[in-house]
Structures are given as structure tokens and as C-alpha cells.
């Protein structure tokens, strides 16, 4: 399954998720940001590529639905409500992300069966 993590600038939270979880249970993980100055800017192609999209805050989901409504249609979204208060690869952030991975990504394979 292709997994996309979205935050604002793709410098700390979503980048941590990508580096931490890429390859987990065979999933391919990418990340992007919604802001103009993002390290990797969110594109329609990334949304189309993703099977499941994790948004760090409600505003990220809102921006996706406002700017990429067609590409977002039928996609699975999870809003994690993780504030922008962590540094890249912060241990607490990693623990939180592992919790989401175990809850949603382990089940991903079971849902297809």
C-alpha cells in the first residue's frame, strides 16, 4: 500500500514519518507539505499515488479537500491531530507515529483479504 503523510512544510513531522515508516509491513511511504515553502510540495500526483493519507492536523485535510477535491475523492484519510511542536526524528513523535502505524498500517493488509 502507498502511504502519504502530510504536514505544513515537510521538514519535521511528515518527514519523520516517511523516514521512520517507509517499508513498514511492505508499505511505501512518502511525505509532503501543504505550504508554498515546503521541502516537498503536495501535488495532485502524490494524492493520486496514495492509497491512504495521514494528515497531521485538520487544516491539512481541509487544504487537500479545497485544492485537490477530485484527486482526494475516494481516498482514505486519517487526521492525527499532532501539533507542530516536534523536531525532526523527535523520540516522542516517533512513539506517536508507531502507534498510528500499528493501529492503521498493520490492518491495511487484513482489509484487502
Facing residues of 5 across strands?
31, 54
> Residues 69-108: pLDDT tens digits?
999 999 999 999 999 999 999 999 999 999 999 999 985 4
Could you give the angle at the alpha carbon of 74 between the alpha carbons of 59 and 104, nearest 5°? 70
The overall longest dimension of the chain from CA atoms, in Å, is 40
Its pTM stands at 0.92
- Quote the pLDDT of residue 113: 31
- Quote the pLDDT of residue 107: 58
Of the candidate CATH numbers 3.30.1360.120, 3.40.50.2300, 3.40.228.10, 1.10.10.10, the domain formed by 2-112 belongs to 3.40.50.2300
Q: Between 51 and 106, whose confidence is greater? A: 51
**Backbone angles phi and psi of 30, in degrees to 5:** -130, 170
> Chain-wide mean pLDDT for the chain?
94
Distances, alpha carbon 30 to alpha carbons 5, 69, 113, in Å: 6, 20, 24
Amino acid at each position: 500500500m502507498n502511504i502519504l503523510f502530510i504536514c505544513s512544510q515537510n521538514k519535521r513531522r511528515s518527514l519523520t514519518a516517511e523516514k521512520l515508516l517507509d517499508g513498514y509491513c511492505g508499505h511505501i511511504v512518502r511525505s509532503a507539505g501543504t505550504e508554498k515553502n515546503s521541502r516537498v510540495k503536495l501535488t495532485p500526483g502524490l494524492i493520486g499515488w496514495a492509497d491512504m493519507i495521514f494528515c497531521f492536523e485538520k487544516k491539512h485535510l481541509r487544504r487537500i479537500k479545497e485544492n485537490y477535491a477530485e484527486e482526494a475523492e475516494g481516498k482514505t484519510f486519517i487526521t492525527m491531530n499532532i501539533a507542530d511542536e516536534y523536531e525532526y526524528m523527535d523520540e516522542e513523535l516517533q512513539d506517536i507515529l508507531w502507534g498510528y502505524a500499528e493501529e492503521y498500517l498493520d490492518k491495511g493488509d487484513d482489509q484487502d483479504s
